[in-house]
Chain A
Amino acid sequence: MSTGLASGRRVIGRLAGANGDAGGARAAASRRERTQVFLARLAAGLGILVLWQVCAMAFAPAYIARPTGILGQLPAVGGDQAFWSAAGSTLLAVVEGLAIAIVIGTVLGLVMGRMRDIDRALRLYVDSFYAMPIVALVPLLTVWFGYTPTARLAVIVMEAILPIVFSVAEGGRTLSAEFTDVARAYRAPWWRVWGGIALPASLPYLLAGIDLAIGRALVGAVVAEFIASLNGLGYYILFNVRSFRENDAMVALAVLVVFALAVRGLVGLFVRRGLPWYRAG
């Protein structure tokens, strides 16, 4: 059914493209529209920057960050060894934590989604931890792991794993019985049912979980760095703001935002390219 839909869409696309004059006119209109959108965005962006600059110059002390200041500090920050070491430390930790969370979270989520009794025993804990702010565990985790990068990694994994488990479990629960029935009829061994049916079927849910996990992981990493004074972008921000170098700190903040956008963009790209039958809701 899914391939039917996809090929249907492709046929419609081809038809639209071959529609001669009408298609050409529509393309021209959409080109004009695209230029309009681009100009509107440019104007909005410039407006925000100008408003920020003017407010900062009129009302704020000189050390408060402002667009021209950030631009002026870019080369200095780019040549700063401490900045790159901080960026590497935080981003590598987030990637490592996400990887751990994806592996454990997928297994746990699938088991919970496919096995009712285990789901019942664990659901309460997953739900509770998902509902609570994980950052509240940071002081406890620093007592357990000390003021070390391990504490930060633990926070990242805790933050990232919950939306993944939650989402994958839902994918496992909603797996259509037709598939498992067919597998049973052909006496498929358990590892083929899990690896061949349940795992691929829950892939869209895993990606939806990762999309939620990345923002949470960054929040966890930054809070851990604030509290434990660990080398990283969060601490770089804290340290530079305290030393009245807010413009430098803003560059670090921008790196965090770009990283989050990049990961979410990759997830979206993978959904569109790898799973064309699936539409993120």
Chain B
Amino acid sequence: MTRVHAHWRAFLGYAVGIAAGAVAWQLIGLNSAGFVFVPLTTTLSSLGSLISDGSLPSALASSFSVYAVGEAAAIVAGAAVGLLFARRVILRRAFEPYLVALYSTPMVALIPFLLALIGLGFWPKVIVVFLFAFFPVEFATQRGAQSIAPELLDVARSFRTPEPKIWRHVVVPYTVPYLMTGVRQALARGLVGMIAAEFFLSAGGLGSLLITQSEQFDTGAMLAVTLVITLTGVILMAIGRTVERRFARWRVTS
């Protein structure tokens, strides 16, 4: 009985939150100048026309291809470098301060340099996504692989397990849950990189669509695109959390 009650109360809490947000959006929109803020209903009709005139679908396709290529490259490279650095102490120690500095670098500030070096287009944007997403993956992988219990490695070594087999049966399975934590962070950071890259490096994608609309003071369309971007972020985060939780079962708990 009490559990059912708690359930309803939780549901009610979420429902009230969403309803209040929607009502506030509508009311603020109705009471402000059109270029400042528009009601939810106007935003939704802007969304409808963005979809029907094809600009939103084509922007989504362009954004997604950049994002997918950049993320995939970042995950593969981050995992590889992380594992290598964890297993080769001298490399880790030598490069650690530079990795930390790069991890703290606001990567958007590199966009002008990239523009001067390789110009506009698909690949510069992919590089920006890669730069945003690489370091969380590398850090998480390295930290995971470094924390492998020495007993596991000692046992493997006492059976004269060759290094490739140690990697396959001990290092990689042990590290995957940590890697997935990095992947979840990289999914969010890569999205930031994607939008920022599209602001400055292209005529295409969601970011570039936003810039065009802001130049036209088309607030309804901007809110619609922002809504789509938020939804994309939420979905990606849900995917990241699910994957992370799925592989968390591999974690060795002692």
Contacts and interface: CB of A to CB of B under 8 A. Distances in A.
A226 B108 contact: yes
A51 to B, nearest CB: 12
A139 to B, nearest CB: 4
Contacts of A125: 17, 21
- Of B17, B206, B207, the most chain A CB neighbours within 10 A belong to B17
- Of A45, A119, A121, A133, the most chain B CB neighbours within 10 A belong to A133
Interface string B78-100: 00000000000010011111101
A64 B97 contact: no
Contacts of B105: 253, 256-257, 260
A96 interface: no
Q: How many residues of B sit at the interface, in one of the four size bands?
A: 35 or more
Contacts of B21: 124-125
A128 B234 contact: yes
A154 interface: no
A223 B223 CA distance: 19
A120 B17 contact: yes
Contacts of B200: 226
A223 B110 CA distance: 11
B210 A136 contact: yes
Contact of B196 (A124, A223, A261): A223
B113 A246 contact: yes
Interface string B114-154: 01110000000000000000000000000000000000000
Contacts, number: 163
A218 interface: yes
B233 A128 contact: yes
A44 B94 contact: yes
A238 B199 CA distance: 13
Interface stretch (B8-16, B50-58, B68-76, B165-173): B8-16
Q: How many residues of A sit at the interface, in one of the four size bands?
A: 35 or more
B101 interface: yes
Contact of B104 (A142, A215, A222): A215
A257 B214 contact: no
A133 B229 contact: yes
- Of B100, B106, B111, the most chain A CB neighbours within 10 A belong to B106
Contacts of A253: 105, 109-110
Interface string A57-82: 00010011100000000000000000
Contact of A219 (B9, B108, B210): B108
Contacts of B225: 136
B42 interface: no
Contact of B116 (A123, A131, A227, A246): A246
Contact of A222 (B35, B94, B95, B108): B108
- Of A120, A132, A221, the most chain B CB neighbours within 10 A belong to A132
Interface string A223-247: 1001100000110011001101010
Chain A contact residues, majority secondary structure: helix
Contact of A43 (B17, B94, B199): B94
A140 B116 contact: no
Given A215-B104, A246-B116, A41 B94 contact: yes
- Of A44, A131, A219, A260, the most chain B CB neighbours within 10 A belong to A131
A223 B104 contact: no
A77 B195 CA distance: 31
B104 A140 contact: no
A25 interface: no
Given A139-B211, A218-B106, A227-B199, A132 B100 contact: no
A103 interface: no
Contacts of A37: 93-94
Interface string B199-236: 11000001100110110010100110110011011101
B23 interface: no
A219 B97 contact: no
Given A60-B117, A143-B222, A40 B36 contact: no
B199 A222 contact: no
A238 B112 contact: yes
B61 interface: no
B13 A120 contact: yes
B195 A136 contact: yes
Given A127-B234, A132-B230, A257 B112 contact: no
7 contacts: A40-B90, A130-B237, A131-B237, A135-B192, A227-B199, A227-B211, A246-B116
**Top 5 A-B residue pairs of the complex, sorted by shortest distance between their CB atoms:** A120-B13, A139-B214, A121-B17, A132-B233, A44-B94
Given A136-B210, A221-B106, A257-B106, 11 more contacts: A40-B93, A45-B97, A45-B98, A120-B10, A121-B20, A131-B234, A131-B237, A139-B213, A226-B199, A234-B108, A260-B105
